[in-house]
Structure 1
Amino acid sequence: MSFPPNYPNSPPAVKFTSEIWHPNVYADGCVCISILHPPGDDPNGYELASERWTPVHTVESIVLSIISMLSSPNDESPANVEAAVKGMEREER
């Protein structure tokens, strides 16, 4: 987890340092969850502003969100499309 100079007004970046195959983790290890996205409206229209970063989030809330993401991936807007497709195929069986 790395914190920008203007934290807590901007979210930290979270990146796995070892390889992980997960729908919400990019190939470079960066975590893709709503609370780590910059505050304001989503330019793609997937998230509400209330789902994005706000300065009230703590390291604890970030870690809890990551734990939740790992156990319950968001297949609706995946960072790793291939992992999301494989996960959905597995659920259909």
Structure 2
Amino acid sequence: MTEQSALLLRKQLAELNKNPVEGFSAGLIDDDDIYKWEVVIIGPQDTLFEGGFFKAYLTFPYDYPLRPPKMKFITEIWHPNVAKNGDVCISILHEPGEDKFGYEKPEERWLPIHTVETIMISVISMLADPNSDSPANVDAAKEWREDPNGEFKKKVARCVRKSQEMAFD
């Protein structure tokens, strides 16, 4: 299975290099390891994240695409669906099948048809439109619900500024 997943990942990487998708860039952390990617998400326009450069790692399982990759932001980001350690928590990255908590329909979860592109598009739309129903960062979710233009906006602005400084290091 490893060979198939490596081939598929190489194909997706080549495709993204040939036809970049607006809003993010992707590459390998280390050229010898096709299973570990570095992505940079550009904060979507007209959102609090606009102007930010958020770096994240995608780590693919050897049985990809049967199982989803894990995604972790390396750049600090304040968002209801990103845990404080950077782990991204959205339906599309959850293991396939039934949700034992009953929040998600199976079709909202990981499906083998997903690609790096569809994952990134979901993450970008998550930045624009947080889901505070099942938060990974409870404090951020509370601020987002109660006062999106107060403390939440301030913390996000700080992350955006920091991400800009780091982007050019």
Give me the TM-score of the superposition, normalised by structure 1.
0.95
2:140 corresponds to 1:71:
no
> Which whole-Å CA distance do the structure 2 matches of 1:15 and 1:9 have between them?
20
User: Which runs of 5 or more residues in structure 1 are unaligned?
Assistant: none
> What SS is found at the alignment partner of 1:14?
strand
The alpha-carbon deviation at position 27 of structure 1 amounts to 1.1
Q: 2:73 corresponds to which letter in structure 1?
A: F
CA deviation map 1:8-35 (0-9, x unaligned): 0000011101211110001110100000
> Which whole-Å CA distance do the structure 1 matches of 2:65 and 2:122 have between them?
17
> Among 98, 105, 112, which residue is 1:55 paired with?
112
Match of 2:93 in 1: 36
Q: 1:28 corresponds to which letter in structure 2?
A: N
- Give the % identical residues: 57
Larger C-alpha radius of gyration, 1 or 2? 2
Q: How many residues align?
A: 93
Question: Runs in 1 of length 4+ with deviation above 6 angstroms?
Answer: none
User: Which runs of 5 or more residues in structure 2 are unaligned?
Assistant: 1-57, 151-169
> What SS is found at the alignment partner of 1:15?
strand
